[in-house]
Amino acid sequence: MAAPWEDVLRNEAAVQEAARVAVDAALLAGVLMRTESEPNASDVVNYAPFTLFPSAVPSALFEQAYAVQQDFNLLVDAISQNKEFLERTLASTIKVDDFTARLFRIYMQVLEEGLAQSVFLGINRSDYMFDCGVDGTPALKQIEINTIAASFGGLTSRTAAVHGQVLKVLGKSKEASRILPNNPSKGLALGIAKAWELYGSTSAVVMFLVEEVQRNIFDQRCVENELWNRNIRVIRRRFRDVFEKGSLDDARRLYMDSQEVAVVYYREGYVPKNYDQQNWEARLLLERSRAVKCPDIATQLAGTKKVQQELSQPGTLEKLLPGSDEAVARIRATFAGLYSLDVGEEGDKIAAMAIADPDQFVLKPQREGGGNNLYGEELRQVLEKIRDSPERTSYILMDKIKPQPAMNYLLRAHSPLQVSECISELGIFGVYVRQGKEMVMNKAAGHLLRTKAIEHADGGVAAGVAVLDTPYLV
Ligand code: ADP
Ligand code: MG
């Protein structure tokens, strides 16, 4: 997967100059983040970290990832409507994982009351790495699918131009012209706009449910601005605001500060630390409402690691997507080995297998947002400690994916410029809208490439480990 700029990679003067151009281009293009010291103010901002060079991505795998996205959209949507499947799959997990259990309780409560919501909007991002097989041929393997708060669809739409300019500065205009345009934020906004339209009240607003700490606001603003451009009003509120000022009328229409809310787009609510008792109450209020939640709680549960593991079991995909053999085959081709640690003989065998050879696996709890997985020696120690306890069922085990590293420079504010051995993760954004039983939109909305130095096993851009990148197809 050699990229055609190996010749300049070690030319220090050229790299220094390109990095200066790149940083200014990123600032001009809006590849921005608020600073760690002032995460809730835009007075001082910085560029979001990104690679100096685009990274080579095998075009066949890139196309494969796009081609399977609509299948994944249909799969997530099918899971979200399958109470029996969610109940059975998460039964062992919710016994030991309090967070998943609380989400599940809201899910059941909302179902018992009966859904007021009739329009459904899914925005997800399916993430992959390029696993290097024994013969060196890379294969597309899914890391996970994010069904809530999948981020960077905004900022990533700005990196292609930056990388194009870098290549031009380095005398690689032909290569620059081959960089693909990419604008997930537009696709996400089209989905939100469709859901808003189907909700059917022109005076209603779209509410972005945002975190207390909002460093990544510019990424969200990209989507917001696309909505304003379509004359759709957007408000930004936190769980706390919903708790204090949110209400439902008799028809369970949601009101915030006396404005009716058509769509709630969560960029928050996916980790335990997002919730205190009041925030849980706010979440319940939102879920009970008629507003289109993106995602509704069932779709959030469809994105759990435990569900991912269950999908890899023989026959599961066929049951969830009956009569769709080709879609099932496309989906299955992207799966790495996934194993249940449920109590029983099979789980005992899996635990022993991982303890004996920890470098071949990743141990994953039911958490999102990066930095939670366990690898190598740490994996072995933790698993040894919990191997005879039901606590092990709060984890799943996954084959470790091993991509071929490539050299690149990671540009980060206040960090020295140095070459690193890197690996990349490709994400494809999916958007779909369903009204009752009818799918009215099902699309792939663009891509995100994130790259990190190989010494970090885990962690995304927000966690300060990975940086934004642009694929260069080879
Ligand atoms: P999260 O929900 O925290 O983002 P992920 O499953 O995406 O959890 O894992 C976080 C990071 O850990 C990924 O971005 C990737 O870098 C690394 N990772 C996860 N699974 C694997 C795997 N099977 N093999 C290699 N690296 C992995
Ligand atoms: Mg992830």
Residue 344: φ, ψ to 5°: 140, 180
In order of 142, 146, 158, 400, 407, the CA distances from 338 in angstroms are 11, 17, 35, 10, 30
The answer to whether residue 3 scores a pLDDT higher than 80 is no
The range of the structural domain enclosing residue 357 comes to: 338-400
Report if residue 262 sits inside a domain: yes
Q: What is the mean pLDDT of residues 38-60?
A: 97
Same domain for 293 and 391, yes or no, is: no
CA distance 76 to 73: 5
Listed residues 357, 383, 400: the one ending a domain: 400
Work out the percent of the chain whose per-residue pLDDT is above 90: 94
Predicted confidence (pLDDT) per residue in 147-168, tens digit: 999 999 999 999 999 999 999 9
Same domain for 129 and 178, yes or no, is: yes
pLDDT tier for residue 179 given thresholds of 50, 70 and 90: very high
CA distance 470 to 424: 10
Compute, in angstroms, the gap from residue 125 CA to the centroid of ligand 1.
13
In order of 138, 158, 378, the CA distances from 402 in angstroms are 9, 29, 18
Same domain for 236 and 384, yes or no, is: no
Same domain for 91 and 188, yes or no, is: yes
CA distance 120 to 437: 10
Q: What is the mean pLDDT of residues 179-195?
A: 98
Same domain for 39 and 162, yes or no, is: yes
Compute, in angstroms, the gap from residue 305 CA to the centroid of ligand 2.
10
The answer to whether residue 1 scores a pLDDT higher than 70 is no
CA dihedral 371, 375, 381, 382 (to 10 degrees): 40
Query: Which ligand 1 atom sits closest to the C-alpha of 368?
Result: 2
Composition of the chain by helix, strand, coil, percent to 5: 40, 25, 30
The ligand placed nearest to the CA atom of residue 450 is 1
Same domain for 418 and 460, yes or no, is: yes
Which residue, by CA, sits nearest to atom 4 of ligand 1?
370
Same domain for 97 and 36, yes or no, is: yes
Report if residue 106 sits inside a domain: yes
Query: Which ligand 1 atom sits closest to the C-alpha of 372?
Result: 3
Same domain for 136 and 41, yes or no, is: yes
Paired tokens of 402: 């091993």
Report if residue 1 sits inside a domain: no
* Alpha-carbon radius of gyration of the chain: 22
At position 375, the amino acid (one-letter code) is Y
Listed residues 400, 418, 450: the one ending a domain: 400
Listed residues 372, 400, 428: the one ending a domain: 400
The answer to whether residue 275 scores a pLDDT higher than 70 is yes
CA 318-390-107 angle, to 5 degrees, is 55
CB-based contact 73:430 (threshold 8 Å): yes
Predicted confidence (pLDDT) per residue in 242-251, tens digit: 999 999 999 9
Residues comprising the binding site?
125, 144, 146, 148-151, 214-216, 220, 267-270, 305, 364-373, 375, 398-401, 425, 450, 452, 458, 461-462
Paired tokens of 362: 């990743």
**34: which strand partners?**
45
| CATH assignment of the domain containing 380 | 3.30.1490.50
Report if residue 71 sits inside a domain: yes
Q: To test ligand 1's pocket by mutation, which of 338, 372, 373 has the most ligand atoms within 8 angstroms of CB?
A: 373
Residues carrying an active site annotation: 125, 144, 146, 151, 305, 364, 368-369, 450
CB-based contact 419:431 (threshold 8 Å): no
At position 161, the amino acid (one-letter code) is A
Predicted confidence (pLDDT) per residue in 290-333, tens digit: 999 999 999 999 999 999 999 999 999 999 999 999 999 999 99
Compute, in angstroms, the gap from residue 436 CA to the centroid of ligand 2.
30
Predicted confidence (pLDDT) per residue in 403-460, tens digit: 999 999 999 999 999 999 999 999 999 999 999 999 999 999 999 999 999 988 777 7
Query: Which ligand 1 atom sits closest to the C-alpha of 450?
Result: 14
CA 266-270-274 angle, to 5 degrees, is 95
Same domain for 327 and 348, yes or no, is: no
Query: Which ligand 1 atom sits closest to the C-alpha of 369?
Result: 3
Total domains in the chain come to: 2
State the pLDDT at residue 166.
97
Same domain for 466 and 322, yes or no, is: yes
Q: What is the mean pLDDT of residues 202-222?
A: 97
Tally of residues, the chain: 474
Same domain for 454 and 395, yes or no, is: no
Q: To test ligand 1's pocket by mutation, which of 97, 131, 132, 144 has the most ligand atoms within 8 angstroms of CB?
A: 144
Predicted confidence (pLDDT) per residue in 341-384, tens digit: 999 999 999 999 999 999 999 999 999 888 899 999 999 999 99
Residue 339: φ, ψ to 5°: -135, 140
Same domain for 322 and 376, yes or no, is: no
